[in-house]
Amino acid sequence: MLPRPEQPTVATHWGTYHARLEGDRIAELRPIEIDPDPSPLSDGMIEALTAPARILRPSVRASFLAAREAGRVATDGAGRGHEPFVELPWDEALDLAAAEIARIRSEHGNQAIYGGSYGWASAGRFHHAQSQIHRFLNAAGGYTRSVQNYSFAAAAMIVPHILGDDRGLVSGHSTWPRIAAHTQTLLMLGGVPWKNAQVSSGGIARHILTENLAALRARGARLISASPIRDDAEGADWLPIRPGTDTALMLGMAHVLLAEDLADRDFLASHTHGFDRLEAYITGAADSIAKTPDWAAPITGVPADRIRELARLLAATRSFIMVAWSLQRADHGEQPYWMAAALASMLGQIGLPGGGFGYGYASANGIGNPTPDLSFPAMPQLVNPVTDYIPVARIADALLHPGEPYQFNGMDRIYPDLKMIYWAGGNPFHHHQDLNRLRRAWQRPEAVIVHESWWNPLARHADIVFPVTTVLERDDIAFSSRDRFVTASHRVADPAGEARDDYAVFSGLAQRLGVEDEFTRSRSTEDWLRHLYGRGRQRAAANGLDLPDFDSFWRGGPVVLDAPALEDQIDLLADFRADPQAHALSTPSGRIELYSETVAGFGYDDCPGHPVWIAPREWLGAAGKYPLHLMSNQPATRLHSQYDLVGQSRAAKLHGREVLRMHPSDAEARGIADATVVRVFNDRGACLAAVRLSSDLLPGVVQLPTGAWFDPEEGDAPQPLERHGNPNVLTADRGTSKLGQGPSAHSCLVEVAPYTQPLPPVRAFEPPEFISRPMLMPMKEPRK
Ligand SMILES: Nc1nc2c(c(=O)[nH]1)N[C@H]1C(S)=C(S)[C@@H](COP(=O)(O)OP(=O)(O)OC[C@H]3O[C@@H](n4cnc5c(=O)[nH]c(N)nc54)[C@H](O)[C@@H]3O)O[C@H]1N2
Ligand SMILES: Nc1nc2c(c(=O)[nH]1)N[C@H]1C(S)=C(S)[C@@H](COP(=O)(O)OP(=O)(O)OC[C@H]3O[C@@H](n4cnc5c(=O)[nH]c(N)nc54)[C@H](O)[C@@H]3O)O[C@H]1N2
Ligand SMILES: [Mo]
C-alpha cells in the first residue's frame, strides 16, 4: 500500500479537497486553496461511509440463490426489487457470479451480456468504474455496449452533421475568458446555472463560472437568460420561455434578420451550405407559414416585440449564443441545436472573438476552460470482440423488444437479446425515464450483477451485489481534460465492512474465468497507479509540460498546470472563418450545413434536412389532462443520485421528501399551500413531493429535480406510488428522434394535487431485509 502523506488530498467530481484526519479517522474535507468558488457537495461524504444503507457484504437475492443452489437456471425476475437478500462470503459470491457469466456465455454468447453500465461513478483514473468493467468484460470475451450518454445524446448525433465533428459541444469551445473579454450580448438558452457548474466528470481544481460572469458584468455586457426558471442565471435579464420552444424563438429571430436585412449574406455564402432551403422555410415560401415573431410569440410565450428587439440586439453587437445541454434532452432535441448554429451563422460572428455560439457552458464546470494540451491515460479497456451496441437511453426498449428493428442515425438496426446485465458505476434507477417501465423491462434478464457502495434502488434490483469502496477508501490519480491539474487522491478511510475495490472484484472473477493475466497484467493497484502516472508524465513531457516523479507527486499537493495566454486561446471555428478552404469542416460540403442532404436522405419525419419547429409530444401548447410542464432538471444539492442519503441533499428535503417548486398561481388554483405534500402524476406514474411556492418559475411549469432515490410503495402494482419525489416515474421513455434516439426527459406533462391521506414513510435509505441461508424458500414457478 502507498504511504498516506501528512496532508492527504481527495478528488471528486465536485472539487478537490484536503482531508483532515483525527487520529486514524477522517474528520473533515476542506476545499483546496486555489479553488475560487468551491462546491459544498462534499458535505456528507464522511457520514455516508458508515450510513445504515452502506453495503457491507456480498449479497444475493433470495430466490435467485435458492434456484442456483437447487441447480435451476430459471429466474424469477419479478422478485427483483421486492425480495430479501442473503449475505455470502466473498469466495462463494464470486464463484456464483463467475459461474453465471460462464453459463450465459456458453448458452447465449457474449453479446447476451449487457455491459453498457452507463453512469458517472467517481473521479479517478484508475478506479474508473467504466474502464474497469469494460476491461474485465473484454477480457472475458466481450459484451454488448452502449453508445452516447444521457447528457447530450441528441446533440452528439446532430452536431457532427452540422459541423463535421463535435467541436463546440465536447471540446473546441470559444473559451470563457475570450467571451468575458469580448462579448457584448450574451444570450443564454437554458441559462448558466451555478448549480450545474459545480461538477465536472473526472474532477475539478478551480470552479470558473462565477469569475467569468463577473468579468462580463464588469465590462457592462448584457446578459439575457431565456429559460422557464429565473434562477438559471442569477443577475441576468430573464426572458421566460415555455420549455421545448427555443427553436420557434430562434426561427422568429431569424425571420427578423431576413426581413430587416440584418443577416450576414457574405458569411452565409462563403461558410454555410443549404441556407436557401432554410430561408424558404423561415419566410414561409416552402410551407406557406412565415416564421415571424408573431408566429413564434404564442408558441414560446415570449412577446413578439421582445423577439424583434433581441434579434436586432444580437445583430448590432458582438453577440454570443450559449445553449444548455438541457434543450436537447427533450423531444426533437436535435432541432434547437441545429437552429442555434443556423442563427449564429446568419449573425455571421462565428469565429470572431466573443462572437458565435457554443453548447453546454454551465452544464459542467470547465466547458470553455482554457487548458493545456494534455490527456491522461485511464486503465486501458482492451478490445471488445462483440460489435453490437444500443443507444444508451434505449435500454428498456432493448430489454422489452429483443430482435425487433429500430432506426438510429440513418441505420436499420435490431435490438440484441440481452440475458445478463452487469452494472458498475451508474444508476439506471436514477437516470432512466419512466422507471415503472424500466422495472418491467428489468425483470427480463436471467441475471443482474451490480457493484455498489450503498443499498440504492439499483442494488435492490440486482441478483448479485458486490460491495465496493468509495473514493475515500482507495488511492487514485485524478485528472480532467476540462481543467488543468493532476492530483493524487489518497485513501483516508478504511473500507467499510467487507467492501473491496471494483478492481479487486473483477480480478477475483477474472481469475475464476481463467483470464486473470489479461485483466490484471499481474499488477497491483500501486503498480497500476505508477504505470498510469508514468505514461501520463511521458505524454506531458512530449507536450512540454513537466510533471514531478511519482513519489514526489504522491507526497505533494495537486499539480496545477499553466493556462494558455488569452491571445492563444480558441474562438470556435476561427480557423475555418479565416480560411474555409484550408480549414474545411468534415461535413460533406466542407461547410456549416444548414441543410444536410445526408440527414434529409434518412427520410425521417422527426428530423428532416434542416432545422424545423416540430411541436413536442408533451408541451404547454398542447396540455390537456396534464396541464403542468415538469422540469426534472439537475439537483443543486447533489450529483444525480449520489450522496442523496446525507449532507446537503438530505437537509434540503421537506417532510423527508424532495421539494417541488411551483408558481403561487398554479398552487392557488389547486388549493395547494406552501410546505405541504402533494401527489404529482400522469399516465406513467405518480410520486409524492413537498411543495415550495416560487415566482421564479414561469406559471405552468413545476420543477422537481432528479436524484431522490426511487422509493416505490411495496407490492406488485404496475404503478406503485413513489414516496420520495423521484421525477423519473413521470418522464417519458422516448427517443428524441429516429436520428438521435437520445433521452427526452424534459418533455413531460403532469398534474399536481394535494395529498390528503396519511403520509407513508420514506424508506429509500433503509437497507433491504436480509435472511439467512437455511431460511431460503423453495422457488416458486417464475411469475409470468
Ligand atoms: N428526468 C431526468 N433524468 C435524467 C436527467 C435529467 O435531466 N432529467 N439527466 C440525465 C443525465 S444528463 C445523466 S448524466 C444521468 C446520470 O445518471 P448516473 O450517472 O447513472 O447517476 P449517478 O447518481 O451519478 O450514479 C452513479 C452511481 O455510481 C455509484 N458509484 C460511484 N462511484 C463508484 C465506483 O467507484 N464504483 C462503483 N461500482 N459504483 C460507483 C454511485 O453510488 C451511484 O449509485 O441521469 C440522467 N437522468
Ligand atoms: N449540482 C449538479 N450539477 C450537475 C449535475 C447534477 O446532478 N448536480 N449533473 C451534471 C450533468 S451529468 C449534466 S449532463 C449537466 C446537465 O446540464 P443541463 O442539461 O444544462 O442541466 P439541466 O439542469 O437539466 O437544465 C438547465 C436549465 O435549463 C432549463 N431548461 C430546461 N428545458 C429548457 C428549454 O426547453 N428551454 C430553455 N430555454 N431552458 C430549458 C431549466 O430551467 C434548467 O434549470 O449538469 C451537470 N451538473
Ligand atoms: Mo449528464
pLDDT for 333-371, tens place per residue?
A: 999 999 999 999 999 999 999 999 999 999 999 999 999
Find the catalytic residue in 120, 415, 454, 554. 120
Q: What is the largest CA-CA distance in the chain?
A: 82
Given a cut of 70, whether residue 565 has pLDDT beyond it is yes
**Ligand 1 geometric centre to CA of 601 (Å):** 36
Helix, strand and coil percent figures for the chain, each rounded to 5: 35, 20, 50
648 and 720 Cβ atoms separated by less than 8 Å: no
Q: What percent of the chain has pLDDT over 90?
A: 96
* Angstrom distance (rounded) from CA 426 to CA 122: 9
Q: With a 6 A CB cut-off, is 453 part of the ligand 1 pocket?
A: yes
Pocket test for ligand 2, best of 229, 249, 363, 704 (most atoms within 8 A of CB): 363
Q: Are 443 and 784 in contact (CB under 8 A)?
A: no
| Closest CA to ligand 1's atom 27 | 426
| pLDDT at residue number 74 | 85
pLDDT at 655 over 50: yes
Q: Where are the domains of the chain?
A: 59-140+419-481+485-560, 164-369+574-602, 620-754
Residue 781 reports pLDDT greater than 70 = no
Place of cell 478492481: 503
pLDDT over 50 at 784, yes or no: no
Which DSSP letter does residue 779 get?
A: P
What DSSP designation does 683 have? T
Distance (Å) from CA 66 to ligand 2 centroid: 44
pLDDT digits (tens, 9 = 90+) for 260-310: 999 999 999 999 999 999 999 999 999 999 999 999 999 999 999 999 999
Q: Decide yes or no: CATH 3.40.50.150 for domain 59-140+419-481+485-560.
A: no
- pLDDT of 686 > 60? The answer is yes
Nearest CA to ligand 2 atom 2: 196
pLDDT band per the 50, 70, 90 thresholds, residue 1:
confident
CB of 409 shorter than 6 A to ligand 1 = no
**Exactly one of 114, 118, 359, 454 is catalytic; which is it?**
118
Percent of the chain with pLDDT over 70: 99
Supply the pLDDT for residue 386. 98
Q: Is 150 a catalytic residue?
A: no
Q: Which residues surround ligand 3, an ion (CB under 5 A)?
A: 151
Q: What is the pTM of this model?
A: 0.98
Whether 95 contacts 466, CB under 8 Å: no
Instruction: Supply the mean pLDDT for the chain.
Output: 97
Atom of ligand 2 nearest to the CA of 41: 1
pLDDT band at 557 (very low <50, low <70, confident <90, very high): confident
Q: Band of the pLDDT at 216, cuts 50, 70, 90?
A: very high
Smallest CA-to-CA distance from 547 within 590, 488, 497, 625 is with 488
Q: What pLDDT digit, counting tens, does each position of 429-455 carry? A: 999 999 999 999 999 999 999 999 999
Chain segment 84-108, per-residue pLDDT in tens: 999 999 999 999 999 999 999 999 9
Crossing angle (nearest 10°) for helices 246-259 and 334-347: 20
The residues, any chain, with a CB within 8 Å of residue 704's CB and separated by 6 or more, are 630, 631, 632, 658, 659, 660, 661, 680, 687, 689, 725, 727
Task: Please give the radius of gyration of the chain, using alpha carbons only, rounded to the nearest integer.
Answer: 26
Question: Torsions phi, psi of 59, nearest 5?
Answer: -140, 145
Q: Tell me how far apart the alpha carbons of residues 301 and 576 are, in angstroms, rounded to a whole number.
A: 36
For the cut 70, the answer to whether the pLDDT of residue 65 exceeds it is yes
Distance 89 CA to ligand 2 centre (A): 42
Please, which pLDDT band fits residue 782 given cuts at 50, 70 and 90? very low
Ligand 2 neighbour 204 (Cβ under 6 A):
no
**What pLDDT is stored for residue 73 in this prediction?**
87
CA 402 to chain centre: 26
- Domain 620-754, CATH 3.30.70.141 — does that match? no
Q: Which of 701, 685, 709 is nearest to 767 (CA)?
A: 709
Examine the residue annotation and report whether 120 is marked as an active-site residue of this protein.
Answer: yes
How far, in Å, from the CA of 723 to the mean position of ligand 1?
20
Q: Does the Cβ of 146 fall within 6 Å of ligand 1?
A: no
pLDDT tens string 616-647? 999 999 989 999 999 999 999 999 999 999 99
| Superfamily grouping for domain 164-369+574-602 | Dimethylsulfoxide Reductase, domain 2 (3.40.228.10)
Q: Hey, whose CA ends up nearest to atom 30 of ligand 2? A: 190
Among the bound ligands, the one closest to the CA of 248: 2
What integer pLDDT is reported at residue 783 of this predicted model? 43
Cell of residue 460, nine digits: 435492490
To test ligand 2's pocket by mutation, which of 196, 232, 632 has the most ligand atoms within 8 angstroms of CB? 196
With b for 16 or more beta-carbon neighbours within 10 A and e for fewer, the 286-298 pattern comes to eeeebbbbebbbe
724 Cα: distance to centroid of ligand 1 (angstroms): 17
Ligand 1 in reach of 474 Cβ (< 6 A)? no
Q: What does the pLDDT read at residue 194?
A: 98
DSSP state of 350: T
In the prediction, which pLDDT does 776 show?
72
Output the CA 115–ligand 1 centroid distance in Å: 15
Give the three cell numbers for residue 775: 431460511
- Strand 15-22 vs strand 9-12: parallel, antiparallel, or unpaired? antiparallel
**Rounded Cα–Cα distance for residues 697 and 679 (Å):** 19
Nearest ligand 2 atom to the CA of 329 is 19
Q: Tell me how far the alpha carbon of residue 518 lies from the centroid of ligand 1, in angstroms.
A: 29
Residue 564 pLDDT level (bands cut at 50, 70, 90):
very high
